[in-house]
Amino acid sequence: MKFFVDTADVKDIRECQEMGLVDGVTTNPTLIAKSGRKITEVIKEICSFVEGPVSAEVAALDYDGMMREGDVLRKIAKNVAVKVPLTVDGLRACRKLSSEGTMVNVTLCFSAAQALLAAKAGATFISPFIGRLDDINLPGMELIANIRQIYDNYDYQTNILAASIRSVNHITEAAIIGADYATAPPAVLKGLVKHPLTDKGIESFLADWKKTGQTI
């Protein structure tokens, strides 16, 4: 599984990159708003040091508007993936942009049927929102499993990008099911390294090492 860090904070991205946790970046209007910066400025800076796909989302809801904004975003850098919502106009924009060689991330997916449409439209990535489904007592992981089966049945090349990740368990379960990517906030990605038994083991080793009186 590959990891995308879900943030527009350049400092956080660099920190995760130093840990080998950054295969790409996803942003959205909420994250851009938190940064307090212009979207074109933020995306350009991120693309300057991240080699993998960097998702930048359109704000328009109509086809013409999406195409206009998508054209601005994809000109920022070659590794920009234009992010569009899973709507009729979003699928139209996806088909057009992908046919022109632009990576497209179709977001806000909540059903396997929607994911099927995105694949047929040529999406590079489909972003099923696990956490938001869990929030309304629907099984987010079941959606990942259903999409995986459908894509494998018909050899669709669209990558499953597990999104709305809330915990380390979300990432682990999505990886077991076969999601190609997971995008998560920096804190969740860093949390992958943590385990109480690791901490306990380190504490024990250090105590024993201290008893030897040695230094290295």
Q: Which residues contact 75 (CB under 8 A, 6 or more apart)?
A: none
CA–CA gap between residue 141 and residue 166 (Å, rounded): 12
Q: Which residues contact 143 (CB under 8 A, 6 or more apart)?
A: 109, 110, 111, 112, 115, 128, 130, 133
Phi, psi of 73 (to 5 degrees): -70, -45
Q: What is the DSSP string of 138-174?
A: --HHHHHHHHHHHHHHHT--PEEEEBS--SHHHHHHH
Yes or no: say if 144 and 160 are a contact pair by the CB < 8 Å rule: yes
Nearest to 70 by CA among 78, 79, 59: 59
**pLDDT values of the chain reduced to their tens digit, one per residue, 216 residues:** 999 999 999 999 999 999 999 999 999 999 999 999 999 999 999 999 999 999 999 999 999 999 999 999 999 999 999 999 999 999 999 999 999 999 999 999 999 999 999 999 999 999 999 999 999 999 999 999 999 999 999 999 999 999 999 999 999 999 999 999 999 999 999 999 999 999 999 999 999 999 999 999
83 catalytically annotated: yes
Residue of 34, 38, 78, 83 marked active site:
83
CA–CA gap between residue 216 and residue 206 (Å, rounded): 13
3-state secondary structure of 41: helix
CATH 3.20.20.70 applies to domain 2-212: yes
Residue type, 36: G
